């Protein structure tokens, strides 16, 4: 079975289970459980107990109604592991968007540490009250660690994206990060965590694109580069550090800005790795994007048709991550004192 077929089956619920452990012997299963317990104890003993700094507020100056940016998802979306609001992905993105749009941006952070995909429903309820122009969703890691069935996880994500897009909100989803980079996880569990993460990320991409949103792969942003650089992890060796969040935000910014129509075309000129004509059936696009840094996937048409013989068409793009405002610049960009 190809990666594209696996992703499609997980996204549509045609596959069951999610671990691929049916043939594993009792000894292997016992080892995996032991490694999982050990990794969980290690992470929980070091995880910051305080809630992430929210940073809700208005950033930047300019004329016109502020752009409303809603951030939904789990602890990675919330910015768990840093001490200052200006180090969280939401604030970094709000400050950068304000610069690009030359308009103020109002940040509404609704992400909750520990959230799984089924808990997006409540976050979407709150987001819709704010009438966001664009919503960033980062979810999936807790679904993997809790062994939630991928079909269940993806169904809730699809529903969340559909509700937002139907309300006129542009939606960008940072797909499930590569948990195979987490240092406290030993082998062979690390290999399985990487496999599960990428399968879920691909299935998420299919669901999000079909629901009218676009995805950006965070797998390799929070994967190999993290494994090589301890500075990108916070003290618990699971959540990103300030530098790690900045790296992820830089990869997400072009897609969020493009969804709002404020990404400058000049920023893409001359990039050898930007292939505007890379169009594939969505399942194949999702499988390819799952492990490639910052790959954006969104729906497209070929010769006026949204769907081909192998399903909906999707376009893949990769952009060079831009420089973001520093945390100090983000704090200075605050037009009002952030709440909390």
Active site residues: 75, 236, 239
Q: How far apart are CA 4 and CA 284, in angstroms?
A: 5
308 phi/psi in degrees, rounded to 5: -115, -170
Q: How far apart are CA 98 and CA 60, in angstroms?
A: 5
CB environment 28-60: b (16+ within 10 A), e (fewer):
eeebbeebbeebeebbeeebbeeebbbbbbbbb
Q: How far apart are CA 238 and CA 132, in angstroms?
A: 30
List the end-to-end C-alpha distance of the chain, in Å, as a whole number. Answer: 49
User: Which three-class secondary structure state does DSSP give residue 33?
Assistant: helix
Q: 334: which residues sit within 8 A by CB, 6+ positions away? A: 57, 58, 59
User: Which whole-number Å values give the CA distances from 193 to 8, 87, 141, 178, 183, in the listed order?
Assistant: 19, 27, 10, 8, 12
User: Which whole-number Å values give the CA distances from 78 to 81, 109, 230, in the listed order?
Assistant: 9, 7, 21
What the block records as the tokens of 88 is 């969280």
């Amino acid at each position: 079975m190809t990666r594209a077929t696996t992703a499609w089956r997980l996204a549509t619920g045609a596959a069951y289970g999610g671990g691929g452990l049916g043939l594993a012997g009792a000894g292997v299963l016992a080892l995996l459980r032991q490694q999982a317990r050990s990794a969980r104890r290690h992470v929980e003993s070091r995880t910051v107990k305080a809630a992430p700094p929210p940073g809700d507020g208005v950033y930047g100056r300019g004329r016109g109604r502020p752009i409303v940016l809603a951030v939904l998802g789990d602890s990675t979306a919330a910015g768990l592991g840093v001490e200052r609001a200006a180090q969280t992905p939401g604030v970094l993105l709000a400050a950068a968007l304000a610069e690009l749009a030359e308009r103020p941006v109002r940040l509404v952070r609704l992400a909750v540490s520990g959230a799984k995909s089924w808990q997006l429903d409540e976050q979407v309820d709150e987001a819709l009250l704010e009438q966001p122009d664009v919503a960033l969703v980062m979810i999936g890691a807790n679904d993997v660690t809790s062994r939630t069935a991928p079909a269940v996880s993806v169904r809730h994500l699809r529903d969340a994206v559909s509700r937002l897009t139907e309300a006129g909100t542009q939606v960008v989803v940072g797909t499930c990060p590569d948990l195979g980079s987490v240092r406290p996880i030993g082998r062979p569990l690390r290999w399985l965590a990487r496999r599960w993460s990428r399968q879920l990320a691909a299935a998420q991409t299919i669901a999000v694109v079909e629901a009218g949103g676009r995805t950006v792969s965070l797998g390799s942003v929070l994967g190999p580069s993290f494994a090589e650089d301890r500075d990108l992890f916070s003290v618990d060796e699971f959540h990103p550090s300030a530098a790690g969040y900045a790296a992820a935000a830089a990869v997400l910014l072009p897609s969020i800005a493009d969804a709002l129509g404020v990404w400058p075309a000049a920023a893409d000129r001359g990039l050898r790795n930007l292939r505007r004509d890379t169009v594939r059936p969505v399942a194949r696009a999702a499988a390819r994007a799952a492990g490639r840094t910052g790959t954006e996937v969104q729906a497209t048409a070929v010769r006026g048709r949204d769907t081909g013989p192998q399903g909906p068409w999707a376009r893949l793009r990769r952009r060079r991550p831009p420089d973001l405002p520093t945390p100090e610049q983000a704090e200075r960009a605050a037009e009002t004192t952030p709440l909390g």
